[in-house]
Structure 1
Amino acid sequence: MVYLDYNATAPMRPEALEATLSALKSVGNASSMHHSGRGAAARVDVARRQLAELLGCSPGEIIFTSGATEANNLALRSAYARGGTLATTAVEHPAVLETARALTAGKPDTLVIAPVDSNGIADMGPIYEALRTRDVALISVMLANNETGVLADLADLADLAEAAHEAGALVHTDATQYVGRLPLDLADLDVDLLSLSAHKFGGPQGVGALFLRRGATLPHRPLMIGGGHERGWRAGTLNVAGIVGLGAAAEAARLNVRAESVRISGLRDRLEAGLHARVPGCQINGSSAPRLPGVTSITIPGVPADAVLAAMPNVAASDGSACSSGAPSPSHVLLAMGRTRDDADATVRFSLGYATTEEDVERAIETAADAVTQVRALMAATAAT
């Protein structure tokens, strides 16, 4: 199997797997005061520090969650509890976009959704207008799109954060696809909240975090109550093994992110060049915008993505977001970028990562090209009968 679906989930890094297994062999509730409990708590403290070092923040600004979906919900639901308007973009992950729509249901005037251009770059004009004319509670803008890999401009986001703070609004970013793949320093970004999931950068599934900047005036609205865990923000016994694995993955990513991003970017370019050469008519979505190093969203007009994926069972890729796979509607991201429904249904996403090799890329090019040829031939034969 050639695994090119890192945006869905990355293989666990060896360091994270070893740390997780070691923690699983230990016993102890991190909230208990006896020796075993203190040992578990110490492991959690180490992981919190490791993640803080990756993000450029204080360990005390990290709240561990079950993943980015929970972290996104915690951020949006808490901010909206004080009233006002939510502002976001048309290409956010459903964990943000659908949460915002659910919170503002029946009150459409309290939700602002900024459109994007053909490359997936958001027009922040409506958000700035909302800051001037409304009481905005929270702005949520993702750092890297999960389907196309298109990046937000960090300088523009910092400027938006400055304007938001002057207007009394908080700024949240869904950094699920960004963290561990490109260098990040929250000291420069100036957002108030940031969501992430461990399994996107080589940690275990089922664990993530919300960064909450010290001093941010966020109403205290935990999704789960029943204990004082995570400073009262998330009740429930800590997932020690998962958190330890997250920390180990964060440490490995921090040490290697710059070199990995350069190498993976080269592999992504090689993949795209090979597909362009072997698959006539293919188009790269967001190709004129800055993108994550390892992500390519490729549209092959007239060729259904699900048929292409079925024709290359030895290559793991995706026809969009893994969180939306099986959904009857086409990608909301591609539709927002102006693609037709047919083109959205003809789009395959390849996402590369730290363990991807040159051999993986060459095999993927050959296999994908052969798959498209097979599907086109079958479609032509079917049309002729």
Structure 2
Amino acid sequence: MRTEGEVVYLDYNATAPMRPEALEATVSAMQTVGNASSMHHLGRDAATRVDHARRQVADLLNCSPGELIFTSGATEANNLALHAAYARGGYLMTSAVEHPAVLEAARSLTAEQPDALVVLPVDSDGALDLELLSFTLAERDVALVSIMLANNETGVLVDLRPVVEAAHAAGALVHTDATQYVGRLPLDLSELDVDLLSLSAHKFGGPQGVGALFVRRGAALPYRPILVGGGHERGWRAGTLNVAGIVGLGAAAEAAGKRLEHEAVRIGELRDRLEGLLLAKVDDCHINGRRLARLPGVTSVTFPGVPADAVLVAMPHVAASDGSACSSGAPSPSHVLLAMGRSREDADSTIRLSLGYATTEQDIERAAEAVVAGVQHVRTVLAATHAP
């Protein structure tokens, strides 16, 4: 039973609380010693734990354990994927609503040749123009198409099957930043024929600071390590393996996989309840991307004329966000909402509420009450400030 003073945590897209199974596995691994590259029995024990975790993640994705490269998280995995693909020569193609870990990596790689980067626009709901994608693939020699499966701010889902079909027909590889998707909705890499996929443990209940890059066996992609100095992870990534983090990742993957479909349905119902309460009780608010398929636990709500940062301050017992946690403190508004055609004022008046495996009905009721009160309080203050 939650007490009245407890914080309602609705910031799963920033980081999810560690699942009990992942916490237990991580702590257990931290209490042992052994470098997974050492030949003695302690090192072999660590390597065995890593191998087991690799199988757990592979089972969640339905891929081969040998197709997984462990990294420090999705940001490193995204950079590694783009770095390797761009070395093939040709253009990089992505979308205007990608996470900065993809957009900024692509811009950095093409800094000396900006025309080598193609950034596809989206419509007002956040959907890609597939005809434009296909036309661009026909007109240019594209090395890699990088499109996220689920947007981190709006939760909008992308059907990658036509993207993969068009890209492969043009000879391009496909990478997806699946950071928000993995562990939240079913994903079968035997059916989704992407060449590279990035994930991060802490988005679905694993520890922070660990993730993985899926590299499909047979992809025309020689490894291009960013970190050099050892032959770890089949030469893709030098550095002593984070055994405890990897073990936690594996445990979170197994735990999420066991309850995936049930959690998705339950969380989706809670999200719909939250949105219904806000739409009914707050005048003029609207949900971004609502007309498209979205992640079950994400809602991006705009309260026109009400600064999001002020609303967050006005509801201290609800942990939420005004956009991507990776760009917190940035003076510029959400690039995702701007790409969807929102005004700067509306982008600055948008909060993201993201639910997860531990969210309860009581959390939703308390959060809705707090958000409504927070918006009303800010509106009252603004009205008084601007009164003659």
When normalised by structure 1's length, the TM-score is 0.98
Listed one character per residue, the Cα deviations across residues 51-71 of structure 1 (whole Å, up to 9, x for unaligned) are 000001000000000000000
Q: Secondary structure at the match of 1:276?
A: helix
Distance in structure 1 (CA, Å) of the matches to 2:200 and 2:102: 14
Listed one character per residue, the Cα deviations across residues 335-368 of structure 1 (whole Å, up to 9, x for unaligned) are 0001000000000000000000000000001111
Letter in 2 for 1:18: E
Unaligned runs of 5+ in 2: 1-6
Letter in 2 for 1:330: P
Specify the alignment match of 2:125 in structure 1. Answer: 119
- Percent identity of paired positions between Structure 1 and Structure 2: 75
User: What are the equivalent positions in structure 2 for 1:14-163 lying under 5 Å apart?
Assistant: 14-153=20-159, 157-163=160-166
Check conservation: 1:112, 1:127, Cα contact below 8 A: no
Q: Secondary structure at the match of 1:173?
A: strand
Distance in structure 1 (CA, Å) of the matches to 2:31 and 2:128: 47
Q: Secondary structure at the match of 1:259?
A: helix
Specify the alignment match of 1:364 in structure 2. Answer: 367
Give 1:216 deviation, angstroms.
0.6
Letter in 1 for 2:225: P
Matched, 1:250 2:256: no
Distance in structure 2 (CA, Å) of the matches to 1:126 and 1:96: 20
Specify the alignment match of 1:285 in structure 2. Answer: 288
Check conservation: 1:318, 1:350, Cα contact below 8 A: yes
Unaligned runs of 5+ in 1: none
Check conservation: 1:308, 1:372, Cα contact below 8 A: yes
Greater Cα shift, 158-167 or 43-52: 158-167
Specify the alignment match of 1:379 in structure 2. Answer: 382
Q: Secondary structure at the match of 1:113?
A: strand
Specify the alignment match of 2:194 in structure 1. Answer: 191
Give 1:112 deviation, angstroms.
1.1
2:178 to 157, 167, 175: 175
Give 1:219 deviation, angstroms.
2.9
Give 1:163 deviation, angstroms.
2.7
Give 1:82 deviation, angstroms.
1.9
Specify the alignment match of 1:230 in structure 2. Answer: 233
Specify the alignment match of 1:301 in structure 2. Answer: 304
Q: Secondary structure at the match of 2:135?
A: helix
2:222 to 199, 219, 224: 219
Two-structure CA RMSD over aligned residues (Å): 0.8
How many equivalent pairs are there? 382
Check conservation: 1:24, 1:241, Cα contact below 8 A: yes
Give 1:160 deviation, angstroms.
2.3
Check conservation: 1:143, 1:152, Cα contact below 8 A: yes
2:167 to 152, 164, 175: 164
1:272 to 271, 275, 295: 275
Letter in 2 for 1:242: G
Distance in structure 1 (CA, Å) of the matches to 2:367 and 2:289: 21
User: What are the equivalent positions in structure 2 for 1:317-336 lying under 5 Å apart?
Assistant: 317-336=320-339
When normalised by structure 2's length, the TM-score is 0.97
Distance in structure 2 (CA, Å) of the matches to 1:123 and 1:280: 32
